[in-house]
Chains A and B, each alone.
Chain A
Amino acid sequence: MTPVEGSMKTGKAKIFASSILLIFLLILPVFVKGNVMFLAILGMIGGIAALGTNIFFGYCGQVNFGAAGFMAIGGYCVALLERDFHTPYILGLALGIAASGLVALLSSFFLLRLRHFVLGLGTTAFGLAIYSMFAKGFTDYTRGEDGVSLNPLHLFGVQAGDKFFYYVVLICIIVCIWISDAVRNSRVGRGMVAIAENEVAATSMGVDINRYLRIALVLNGLLDGLAGGLLVKYLNFCSPEHFSLPYSILIFIGVVVGGAGSALGAAVGGIVMFTINEVLTPLALYHTLTYGVILGAILLFMPDGIVGGIRALAHRWNGVSRV
């Protein structure tokens, strides 16, 4: 069979798989409630965060170990504005996203001078700086480790329940996947992928590396800011604990195990890794060990990520050998 037919088949299969996934997600709240809803919402918020990092790492190939820093900006913006100025949530969220994008823009002037491992260090330092600013730096104002409590979200005088939140987050993640795909299929997105392949070659083709990477980092900041803003309002609580280095690494892991470079893959990876992380919490003592085993198994047995692994399985099922 020719590659063209193969790609058409993959395209159809992708649409088929995403529709099944979408229908499943749409009707999920009818069947489950309580704890499972909690997990699903937190998982999808993780998926949004992973989508942000996917633009910077998956498309441009630049590591980011500081994504939780952007989430912290978004989250704290919502929390502090509500506490001190009684800002309506939707306005606070918009400002939080904007602030996170702005911080991403400012940090890009430092971070984008770096590459490879040094960029890994730079983003780590960025994330830790933001974390320590909220956790230890200005405890009089941010309440440090104690965190800030928020009021539950009210909608026309009625307290919004899990179901409402679920659909809000679902819409957000679909919009984010759409944005990611639109970016990927645009001129800018193709330039980003060219940067990941080879910077010198990309420059010679007329790609403005700094500008494209800056766009990617700002998009990363915007999406992760959204994730942070959603997270604090859903938990009605904002504490530095959710924005620490392990969470940055968790987001990054989500992108890699989902399948870096594919928006759907990153979303699935983020959802899976965040959900597993939450599911394992009651295991307490066994949490770290189990998480390590699962992560290791995914990396060793699904080298192309979760979505790549499923695709390979589907191909085998169809009797098509992998190209």
Chain B
Amino acid sequence: MREIEFFLLTLVSGISIGSVWGLTGLAFTAIFNASRVINFGGGEVAMVGAYAGGLLVFSGIVPIPIGLLGVIVLPIVSGFFMNRVFAEPLVKRKAPVISSVLATLAAALIISGVVGLITKFQYFKTGLIFGTKPVVWGPLSISPQYIAIIVSVVGLTFGYWFFLNKTHMGLGLQAAGIDPDMASQVGINMVRMRDLAWLVSSVIGGIAGFLAAPLLVASAVMGLPLVVYGFIGAVLGGFGYPLAALAGGIILGLCVQFFTAYVSPAHTDLLVFLALLVVCAYRPTGILGLKMYE
């Protein structure tokens, strides 16, 4: 019985941490699909979300609804800063994509540096938004944070899918990514579309960071690992497909948690990354085998 509990607990935590990586990957994909830029700042946006949560929601400085609003607004502001100051000027100048990618990295360093100055690079305190009382369900007792994460991941993913495929704006966003020249011909404002993509991405990333903060260790440097795992998840699932990014993230989360629990914590990273290399080599288009997104 104990073993089943342990197994289920590993499963739940794998899915939760994986969904966080998946959401980061989803946020990646949103920007990639609109402008072909890989956003190294995705992790920093999530970090801003986590920090906004720690600063506004759990410290009791402002009422909780305003705090939650801050969790949405601050990441948007940081995303806007990254796009308008760093990525957009280079895209407009038709610089190589890799320059824009590194420019987002520069922006990420700046944001991480600013938050680091405020927090002195110490861990900052966040809380569990639904309290600490575990939800008991049969033999299992699960932290409500896990449930909150899984529920909001499902909600956000569905919302994003709906926005992308069923609204006029979302379709414009897709068109902007598939053929920028054609899209501007039919009157789609490319600059506004890229802004929109960064906005959507920042909202998703910020919420992911806010929810994940208690799971990961919240600090000014939490961005890079998050962005790396999000990126890995996105490519693992099939790059360019929002749902595949989520699936890839969850698969990665499950792998990491099960390796840690059942094989050896010390060798987890090595095994996971080696497995990843092999998977990549034999399924270059991702585990789900979707058509490569050019």
- Tell me the chain A residues, 236-291 only, with Cβ under 8 Å from chain B: 245-246, 249, 253, 256-257, 260, 285-291
Which A residues are CB-close (under 8 A) to B111? 292
A63, A114, A121, A124: the one contacting B98 at CB < 8 Å is A63
B109 touches A114 (CB 8 A): no
Which A residues are CB-close (under 8 A) to B231? 120-121, 124
Residue B95 CB within 8 A of the other chain = yes
- Tell me the chain B residues, 240-294 only, with Cβ under 8 Å from chain A: 266-267, 269-270, 273-274, 276-278, 280-282, 284-285
A295 touches B269 (CB 8 A): no
Compute how far the CA of A136 lies from the CA of B266 in the bound complex, rounded to whole angstroms: 5
Residue B198 CB within 8 A of the other chain = no
B278 touches A295 (CB 8 A): no
Residue on B nearest A287 in the bound complex, by CB: B113
Which B residues are CB-close (under 8 A) to A132? 269-270, 273
B116 touches A288 (CB 8 A): yes
B98 touches A256 (CB 8 A): yes
Total CB contacts across the A-B interface at under 8 A: 139
Residue A129 CB within 8 A of the other chain = yes
Residue on A nearest B98 in the bound complex, by CB: A256
Residue B175 CB within 8 A of the other chain = no
Which B residues are CB-close (under 8 A) to A303? 90, 93, 95, 99
Residue B114 CB within 8 A of the other chain = yes
Which A residues are CB-close (under 8 A) to B95? 303
Which A residues are CB-close (under 8 A) to B64? none
A295 touches B273 (CB 8 A): no
Q: How far is the CB of B48 from chain A (nearest CB, A)?
A: 14
Compute how far the CA of A115 lies from the CA of B116 in the bound complex, rounded to whole angstroms: 35
B280 touches A110 (CB 8 A): yes
Known contacts A126-B273, A132-B273; A300 and B120 CB within 8 A of each other: no
Known contacts A120-B38, A292-B110, A300-B89; A114 and B116 CB within 8 A of each other: no
Residue A125 CB within 8 A of the other chain = yes
Residue A113 CB within 8 A of the other chain = yes
Compute how far the CA of A68 lies from the CA of B278 in the bound complex, rounded to whole angstroms: 20
B116, B239, B266, B274: the one contacting A129 at CB < 8 Å is B274
Q: How far is the CB of A233 from chain B (nearest CB, A)?
A: 26
B112 touches A129 (CB 8 A): no
Residue A11 CB within 8 A of the other chain = no
Residue on B nearest A144 in the bound complex, by CB: B266
Known contacts A63-B98, A256-B102; A125 and B267 CB within 8 A of each other: no
B102 touches A253 (CB 8 A): yes
Known contacts A63-B98, A289-B109, A292-B109; A122 and B266 CB within 8 A of each other: no
Interface flags for A284-313 (1: CB within 8 Å of B; 0: not) read: 011111111101100110010000000000
A245, A289, A300: the one contacting B116 at CB < 8 Å is A289
Compute how far the CA of A124 lies from the CA of B225 in the bound complex, rounded to whole angstroms: 12
Residue B107 CB within 8 A of the other chain = yes
B232 touches A286 (CB 8 A): no
Known contacts A289-B110, A290-B113, A292-B106; A121 and B235 CB within 8 A of each other: yes
Residue A210 CB within 8 A of the other chain = no
Compute how far the CA of A296 lies from the CA of B90 in the bound complex, rounded to whole angstroms: 11
Interface flags for A132-149 (1: CB within 8 Å of B; 0: not) read: 110011010000000000
Compute how far the CA of A299 lies from the CA of B117 in the bound complex, rounded to whole angstroms: 24
B224 touches A118 (CB 8 A): no
Residue B105 CB within 8 A of the other chain = yes
Which A residues are CB-close (under 8 A) to B146? none
Compute how far the CA of A110 lies from the CA of B278 in the bound complex, rounded to whole angstroms: 7
Known contacts A136-B266, A137-B270; A122 and B109 CB within 8 A of each other: no
Mark A residues whose CB is within 8 Å of B.
Answer: 63, 107, 109-111, 113-115, 117-118, 120-122, 124-126, 128-129, 131-133, 136-137, 139, 245-246, 249, 253, 256-257, 260, 285-293, 295-296, 299-300, 303
Mark B residues whose CB is within 8 Å of A.
Answer: 38, 85-86, 89-90, 93, 95, 98-99, 102-103, 105-114, 116-117, 120-121, 220-221, 224, 228, 231-232, 235-236, 239, 266-267, 269-270, 273-274, 276-278, 280-282, 284-285
- Listed by A's residue number, 7 A-B pairs whose Cβ atoms lie within 8 Å are A110-B277, A110-B278, A117-B38, A118-B284, A249-B105, A253-B105, A303-B95
